[in-house]
C-alpha cells in the first residue's frame, strides 16, 4: 500500500473513531509496526494527529466546543461501551443526575425502569420520557449549541436536590489540569451537581484524553473516570 493511501486510511478511521491503537493500525494498513510509527510521525509533524497512549488521535483545537449534533455520532461505539459500564453501576430506585452530553444520553435506554432522573439536558429529558422514566428537567437558560441548561436558575434549582449518583460528561481529561470543559458556565453547573451527589463519575472516551480546555471542573484524583477501555478508580 502506498504511503498516501495509508495516510488517507488513518485519517478516515480517526474521523469515525477518534483514536487508533498502534497495533490495530498494523492490521488496518497491513503494514509493520515500524511503518505505522513512521506514518504517525509524519502525520503528527503535519499537524493532522497527535500521538498518545500507544496510538494516535485527531488534533482538535483547544477551547473549541462542538455542537451537540456534531458530537452525537462521533466515537459512537466507544460512547455505547461507556454508557453500558456506567448504567451497570445504577441500582434500583435511585435518584440520579445525568449531566448534559452525548455519552450520558446513551445511558438512558439502559437504566432500570424504577429510577428517577434529574438532568439539565433537554435531549436526555426527552429520551427518558420515551422510556417511561420518571424525569425532572432542571430549568434555566438553554445553551443553543449543546441544549444544556445553564445559569443562576439552573444552579439554584440544583441546590434543592440530593442525588445518590451523578454521571458527568466532560470534554478534556488531563493529568495536569484535571477534568475541563470549554464553557465556564457549564463547569459551574457540573461542579454543583458533584456537590449534591453521594457518588459521581466522569464519562469520557479516549479522544478526550490529554485534552485541556478553559474551565476546570475537578481534579482527576477526586472522582473516578469511566472510559471505553478502563475505569480509573478514585485514589
Q: CA 19, CA 185: separation in Å to the nearest integer?
A: 29
Class of domain 68-232: alpha beta
Which residues neighbour 193 within 8 Å (Cβ) at sequence distance 6 or greater? 97, 99, 120, 158, 163, 166, 168, 200
Residue closest to 100 by CA, chosen among 77, 66, 125: 125
Which residues neighbour 198 within 8 Å (Cβ) at sequence distance 6 or greater? 162, 163, 164, 165
Class of domain 3-58: mainly alpha
CB atoms within 10 A of CB 37: 16
Tell me what the mean pLDDT of segment 152-176 comes to: 96
Residue 192 has a pLDDT of: 98
CB atoms within 10 A of CB 151: 15
Tell me what the mean pLDDT of segment 173-200 comes to: 95
Segment 201-232, tens digit of pLDDT: 999 998 888 888 889 999 999 999 999 975 44
Residue closest to 211 by CA, chosen among 183, 163, 170: 170
Residue 109's alpha-carbon distances to 8, 86, 191, 225, in angstroms, are: 36, 12, 25, 21
Q: Give yes or no for residue 128 having a pLDDT over 60.
A: yes
Tell me what the mean pLDDT of segment 167-193 comes to: 95
Domain range annotation of the chain: 3-58, 68-232
69: left (phi over 0), alpha (psi -120 to 50) or beta: alpha
Segment 96-124, tens digit of pLDDT: 999 999 999 999 999 999 999 999 999 99
- Rounded to two decimals, the pTM is 0.71
Residue 144 has a pLDDT of: 83
Q: Give yes or no for residue 71 having a pLDDT over 60.
A: no
The values of phi and psi at residue 12, to 5°, are -65, -45
| Higher pLDDT pick, 201 / 43 | 201
The answer to whether the CB of 203 falls within 8 A of the CB of 103 is yes
Amino acid at each position: 500500500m502506498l504511503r498516501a493511501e495509508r495516510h488517507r486510511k488513518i485519517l478516515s478511521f480517526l474521523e469515525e473513531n477518534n483514536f487508533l491503537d498502534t497495533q490495530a493500525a498494523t492490521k488496518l494498513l497491513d503494514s509493520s509496526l515500524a511503518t505505522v510509527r513512521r506514518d504517525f510521525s509524519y502525520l503528527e509533524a503535519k499537524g493532522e494527529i497527535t500521538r498518545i497512549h500507544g496510538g494516535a488521535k485527531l488534533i482538535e483545537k483547544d477551547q473549541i466546543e462542538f455542537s451537540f449534533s456534531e458530537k452525537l455520532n462521533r466515537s459512537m461505539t466507544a460512547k455505547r461501551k461507556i454508557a453500558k459500564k456506567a448504567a451497570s453501576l445504577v441500582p434500583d430506585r435511585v435518584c440520579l443526575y445525568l449531566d448534559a452530553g452525548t455519552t450520558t444520553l446513551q445511558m438512558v435506554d439502559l437504566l432500570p425502569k424504577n429510577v428517577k432522573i434529574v438532568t439539565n439536558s433537554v435531549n436526555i429529558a426527552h429520551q427518558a420520557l420515551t422510556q417511561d422514566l420518571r424525569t425532572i428537567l432542571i430549568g434555566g437558560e438553554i445553551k443553543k449549541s449543546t441544549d444544556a441548561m445553564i445559569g443562576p436558575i439552573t444552579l439554584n434549582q440544583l441546590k434543592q436536590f440530593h442525588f445518590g449518583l451523578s454521571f458527568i460528561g466532560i470534554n478534556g481529561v488531563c493529568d495536569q489540569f484535571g477534568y475541563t470543559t470549554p464553557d465556564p458556565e457549564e463547569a459551574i453547573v457540573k461542579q454543583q451537581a458533584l456537590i449534591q451527589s453521594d457518588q459521581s463519575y466522569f464519562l469520557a472516551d479516549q479522544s478526550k484524553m490529554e485534552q485541556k480546555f478553559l474551565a476546570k471542573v475537578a481534579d482527576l484524583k477526586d472522582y473516578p473516570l469511566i472510559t471505553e477501555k478502563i475505569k480509573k478508580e478514585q485514589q
